[in-house]
Amino acid sequence: MPYTRATQYQNLGDLMASTLNDDQDSPVMMIQQLAAGAMQEVPDPETGLFVWDAKGNRIIRVGDAIADADALNLRGALRLIEEVQNGGGSIGINPKFWQFVGDGEVTDFPLAGADVDDPLFYDTAAELTAGAGNYKVSRPVDADGVGEFLIVPGVSGAPPAIRFQTPLADGVRGFTTLRGYARPWIGPSPIYTVAPRIVSITSNTTLAGDMHNTLILANSATPITLTIRANTGSAVDWKEGQFFSVQQVGAGQVTLAIEGGGLMTVPVNFQSKTRDVGSVISATCTAPDADAWTAAGDLLRGASSPDLQAFTLADSSVLIGTNITTGTTKASMVLPFGIVLSPVAQRGIYASVSEAQPSGTPLTVDVKRNGTSILNIKLTFDNGERSTITAALPPTLVAGGDILAAGDEITVDVQQVGTAGAKGLKVYLVGQRSS
């Protein structure tokens, strides 16, 4: 409605028109006065759409912006400025520089640490004449294939590379720089510039911040150590929240360490090492200034030794003071639960006697599971020895002989004796419970 009085009243008896008009003019002028100083909807001269005109007045008590079309208040603006100052949050990159020399054949030059594939972010130049220093700016390849270079994305074990359409001549020097940029996360979805990658290593390596978001395949036959570089205030320092992962591909165990000590936090009773082939562990930077990290994943358990179970089978065919004789099923038992025997070198299976055999052929003992031997080389006693632990010929297990299941019947046979005199035979099974 217009801010005007539409009716002009006329005199009617005692009701004077001027009086009524004055009474009606007052509220109309009040409304006109308020409207003159208030924010109004006016046409945008550029688009023709209606916009609000505050006429130089402040708009107060505006809530924080949530949706794309929400108004931005001062607090929100300061937050965006802070993101820019800190590198643009999740979409900022640092400028980088690489240089290379042609040989007339190679077209691809690796760009270690590059995290952008768009060639428009790269300023590239190469010499016109080898060693002359007269550089010419190179044009990136466009959609029609016109231009001198393009960027090839990184693949497993290799970083991105700059690829020239024509090989640089022998001795021709060139360089490329990656422009750094940062902007707050507003408007359309931002460009994600930290692409995950996979690299392969075979020896001890120091890891800098350019290994962020990288899966490292450690393919070494012997143990290796990955050392996290300590922060020194340089461009390759690690930042809070950055991380990497390691997979043990080879037989060599991988240990994570921090240069200069630092602080590596791991779960209780675990170590910052891979457990076995195929193990994947990760490390995350929690406090860059203190070189503090947290390791997690398939870590090696750090307990000194696991709880072991032990079974003893005693020769029940003779009294303790009677000489041992050959025969089958000298002792037997049915296992109440499964057990995985420890290696022979860790006394997973051995035997003892209370009195040693003085001479003759070695006292030899076999152990069977459900009637089938679990030993390739049997338990043997050297003459004068009371235990097979010190035997010159240690026993060996058949394949799968170390895995005993609940309900398996274990029996002991004496295969041969020498000069009579050995007494009190016992066989021991030691390992970890499996069921």
Kindly list the domain boundaries of the chain, sorted by start residue. 92-178, 197-301, 309-433
Asked whether the predicted pLDDT for residue 429 surpasses 90, the reply is yes
pLDDT band at 191 (very low <50, low <70, confident <90, very high): very low
pLDDT band at 156 (very low <50, low <70, confident <90, very high): confident
What is the pLDDT at residue 190? 46
What is the pLDDT at residue 31? 81
pLDDT band at 95 (very low <50, low <70, confident <90, very high): confident
Asked whether the predicted pLDDT for residue 23 surpasses 80, the reply is no
What is the pLDDT at residue 90? 47
Comparing CA positions, the residue from 113, 107, 276 lying closest to residue 194 is 113
What is the pLDDT at residue 185? 52
What is the pLDDT at residue 246? 96
Tell me the residue length of the chain.
435
In whole angstroms, what is the distance from residue 288 CA to residue 376 CA? 56
Higher pLDDT, 122 or 185: 122
Share of residues in the chain with pLDDT > 90 (%): 56
Asked whether the predicted pLDDT for residue 183 surpasses 70, the reply is no
What is the pLDDT at residue 100? 93
Strands 197-201 and 214-218: parallel
Task: Express each pLDDT in 42-82 by its tens digit.
Answer: 888 888 888 888 888 888 888 888 887 888 888 888 877 76
3-state secondary structure of 141: coil
Fold entry, domain 309-433: Jelly Rolls (2.60.120)
Asked whether the predicted pLDDT for residue 85 surpasses 90, the reply is no
Distances from the Cα of 220 to the Cα of 201, 259, 369, angstroms = 8, 21, 38
What is the pLDDT at residue 182? 61
Average confidence (pLDDT) over 162-188 = 81
Mean pLDDT of the chain: 87
Average confidence (pLDDT) over 102-118 = 90
What is the pLDDT at residue 187? 47
3-state secondary structure of 230: coil
* Contact (CB, 8 A) for 314 and 426: yes
Higher pLDDT, 8 or 209: 209
Asked whether the predicted pLDDT for residue 261 surpasses 90, the reply is no
Q: Name the token pair of 177.
A: 């720089």
Higher pLDDT, 39 or 265: 265
Q: Given this chain, do its domains 197-301 and 309-433 carry the same CATH topology?
A: yes
What is the pLDDT at residue 142? 87
Fold entry, domain 197-301: Jelly Rolls (2.60.120)
Phi first, then psi: give them for residue 36, nearest 5 degrees.
-65, -30
Higher pLDDT, 47 or 361: 361
Q: Name the token pair of 7.
A: 């009716």
Average confidence (pLDDT) over 150-156 = 86
Please tell me what DSSP assigns to residue 434.
Answer: -
Average confidence (pLDDT) over 395-417 = 94
Average confidence (pLDDT) over 395-410 = 93
